[in-house]
C-alpha cells in the first residue's frame, strides 16, 4: 500500500511532487497555510518554466548540433543540459521524495553531535545529494545504497561548508555564511592558494 502511494506521488512528476514537499515542509516549519501554498505554487511554476526553456533549447540547438556533428563527422550521443535539466530529472527519481528528509536528518544529527556548524536552509540544492543517491540507485538497483549515497554526500558537503566557511567570510565579507555544496566547495582549496 505504502509503495503504491509513493509510486503515485512520484508519477506526478517533479512539477507536482516538489511543490507538495515544499508545502508540507513549510507547514512543518510553522508557516501559514496560504504562504506554504504560495511557496509550493512558485516552485511548480518555476519547474514548468524550466521545462519550457529546456524544450525550446533542445528544439533549437538540437538541429544545429546535429548539423555540426555531420559537418565535422563526429558522433554525439549525449546532450549536457546542465542543472536546469538535471535537477528536474533528479526530483523525478524514485529516491527524491525521501532524500529531502534524509538530508535534513543528517544535518540535524550532525548539529546535535557537534559534527558540523552548518544549518542547511537551501532545500532546493538538496537535489545535488539526491542526484548522487539516484545515480547509485540506478547503477546498483539498490534503493538503500541510494539512500546511503544521499547520507554520505550530505555529510561531506556539510563538512565542506565548515572547512571553507572562513574563506567564504573573508572573500564575501559575510559573517556566518557557508556554502555547503559539492559543486562549489571543492574550489575551497583554490581560495587558499
> In three state form, how does the secondary structure of the chain look?
CHHHHHHHHHHCCHHHHHHHHHHHHHHHCCCCHHHHHHHHHHHHHHHHHHHHHHHHHHHHHHHHHHHHHHHHCCCCCCCCCHHHHHHHHHHCCCCHHHHHHHHHHHHHHHHHCCCCCCCCCCCHHHHHHHHHHHHHHHHHCCHHHHHHHHHHHHHHHHHHHHHCHHHHHHHHCCCCCCCCCHHHHCCHHHHCC
pLDDT of residue 186: 66
How confident is the model at residue 137, as a pLDDT?
94
What is the structure's pLDDT at 61? 78
Instruction: Output the nine-digit C-alpha cell for 59.
Output: 528544439
Please state the pTM of the whole predicted model.
Answer: 0.68
Contact 146, 134 (CB under 8 A): yes
For 133, the grid coordinates are 543517491
pLDDT along the chain (193 residues), means of 10: 71 76 85 91 83 78 81 80 77 84 95 94 86 94 95 94 86 85 70 64
Answer for the pair 127, 84: CB distance below 8 angstroms, yes or no: no
Amino acid at each position: 500500500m505504502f509503495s503504491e502511494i509513493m509510486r503515485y506521488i512520484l508519477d506526478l512528476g517533479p512539477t507536482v511532487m516538489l511543490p507538495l514537499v515544499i508545502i508540507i515542509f513549510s507547514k512543518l516549519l510553522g508557516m501559514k497555510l496560504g504562504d506554504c501554498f504560495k511557496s509550493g505554487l512558485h516552485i511548480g511554476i518555476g519547474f514548468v518554466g524550466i521545462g519550457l526553456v529546456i524544450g525550446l533549447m533542445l528544439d533549437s540547438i538540437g538541429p544545429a548540433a546535429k548539423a555540426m556533428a555531420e559537418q565535422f563527422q563526429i558522433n554525439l550521443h549525449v546532450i549536457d543540459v546542465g542543472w536546469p535539466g538535471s535537477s528536474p530529472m533528479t526530483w523525478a527519481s524514485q529516491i527524491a521524495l525521501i532524500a529531502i528528509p534524509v538530508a535534513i536528518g543528517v544535518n540535524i544529527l550532525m548539529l546535535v553531535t557537534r559534527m558540523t556548524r552548518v544549518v542547511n536552509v537551501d532545500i532546493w540544492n538538496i537535489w545535488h545529494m539526491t542526484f548522487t543517491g539516484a545515480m547509485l540507485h540506478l547503477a546498483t538497483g539498490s534503493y538503500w545504497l541510494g539512500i546511503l549515497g544521499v547520507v554520505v554526500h550530505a555529510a561531506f558537503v556539510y563538512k565542506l561548508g565548515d572547512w571553507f566557511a572562513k574563506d567564504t567570510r573573508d572573500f564575501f565579507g559575510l559573517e556566518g555564511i557557508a556554502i555547503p555544496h559539492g559543486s562549489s566547495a571543492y574550489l575551497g582549496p583554490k581560495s587558499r592558494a
